[in-house]
Amino acid sequence: MGVYSPSGPGSNVNVSTDDLVFKGDPVVSRLTLPGVANTEDSIVFATTTKFFRIRAQGNAKLLISYVAAGSATGWTISPGNIYSPPLAGLLERAGTLTLYLQSNKASTLVEVETWS
């Protein structure tokens, strides 16, 4: 087991080093957000998802959250940037994971890469 320290000393999480190696190519999906800017949509990741990355195409800003109706006050992903979650949180969860997102542009194309 490796040790991942998300918050400094005393907050260690044991993570199998096997989980840190993503075997094979990611599955790439594309999602078009609603035709109205600032409208929340969601992505549900399977229980087998070990890691994901997400980015908006073009000049769109993404707002994301793990809470329904929370994307307007969640994290902001500036145009051209990629979001990937803390690895330990994905490996420790039970069940599916839902990411809520919206964009400041209508019909934004979002690219999602997942590894299982």
pLDDT in tens, 21-77: 566 789 999 999 999 999 999 999 988 888 899 999 999 999 999 999 988 888 999
Only one residue has tokens 């000393």, namely 9
Which secondary structure element, helix H or strand E, spans residue 91, and what is its range? helix 87-92
Q: Which domains does the chain have, with CATH numbers?
A: 22-115 (2.60.120)
Longest CA pairwise span in the chain (Å): 46
Contact 12/4 with Cβ under 8 angstroms? yes
Helix (H, G, I), strand (E, B), or coil: what is residue 102? strand
